[in-house]
Amino acid sequence: MENEFPRCRKCGAGDLVPLSDFGSQGASIQFKAWVCTNPSCLYNVKIRNGDIIINEPVSDGSMYTHRTQR
């Protein structure tokens, strides 16, 4: 069975895909956000501290400085 993601209702061209993250204590948080796959849309819905945040600006992470292990 193939996974089908919901179509973005904002642009109608992309799909909303789920993203996961880790909480402040390191616990996995599944489906913390849903983001449109259409690069010109990037509609998103996120959960932060129990609040639902809609259409927060999205960056590609290219400016992120990765931590190095010591």
Q: What is the mean pLDDT of each run of 10 residues along the chain (70 residues)?
A: 84 93 81 91 88 84 67
Residue 5 corresponds to which tokens in the numbers above? 């993601």
Residue 46 corresponds to which tokens in the numbers above? 């996120």
Instruction: List 31's β-bridge partners, or say none.
Output: none
Q: What is the pLDDT of residue 1?
A: 47
Q: What is the pLDDT of residue 66?
A: 64
- The residue length of the chain stands at 70
Counting Cβ atoms within 10 Å, is residue 37 exposed (0-12), middle (13-18) or buried (19+)? middle
